[in-house]
Amino acid sequence: MKQSNFNRGSVELFLTREFFNSLVTVLDRYSQAQPDNKFTSYAVKLKEKMMRHGRQFTHEGVPQIVIYFYENEAAMLIKLLAIYYSATEPSSADFFSAAVNKSIRGESKNADQ
């Protein structure tokens, strides 16, 4: 079995300039808003990783950056984005209840069971 000479996460994230800048801006706002918050340290680490380890390439004439995250990093990134979004935007619908009320087969669950 051939081993690679470096270890990278399994979650690939391809970002255009606009998306990269937007994502890093969100992470940067965590450190500006609450320096002592536990999520701030995660945001700072993820921002530093993106700035250090993002690799630029061009796809169909569009410059992009690819970043490889480990699963736990990707999960934290999603959580940070959800927290940020919920703090800045009102919820448009109750998707949580809709998801909870569906079974694996797509049938409604009965709460009394």
Q: Which residues pair with 65 in a beta bridge?
A: 15, 56
Q: Is residue 65 part of a domain?
A: yes
Predicted confidence (pLDDT) per residue in 56-101, tens digit? 999 999 999 999 999 999 999 999 999 999 888 888 888 888 888 8
Residues 3, 55 contacting (CB under 8 angstroms): no
94 alpha carbon, distance to own chain's centre = 21
Q: Which structural domain range is residue 75 located in?
A: 11-100
Q: Is residue 2 part of a domain?
A: no
Q: Is residue 3 part of a domain?
A: no
> What span, in angstroms and rounded, lies between the C-alpha atoms of 113 and 90?
33
Q: Is residue 109 part of a domain?
A: no
Q: Is residue 55 part of a domain?
A: yes
- 87, two tokens: 């703090």
Q: Is residue 64 part of a domain?
A: yes
Domain count for the chain: 1
**Residue 110: how many other CB atoms lie within 10 Å:** 8
> What span, in angstroms and rounded, lies between the C-alpha atoms of 12 and 70?
9
Predicted confidence (pLDDT) per residue in 61-73, tens digit? 999 999 999 999 9
Predicted confidence (pLDDT) per residue in 49-58, tens digit? 999 999 999 9
Q: Is residue 6 part of a domain?
A: no
Q: Which of 99, 102, 106, 19 is nearest to 66 (CA)?
A: 19
105 alpha carbon, distance to own chain's centre = 28
> What span, in angstroms and rounded, lies between the C-alpha atoms of 94 and 44?
31
Q: Which of 68, 58, 60, 49 is nearest to 10 (CA)?
A: 68
Q: Is residue 87 part of a domain?
A: yes
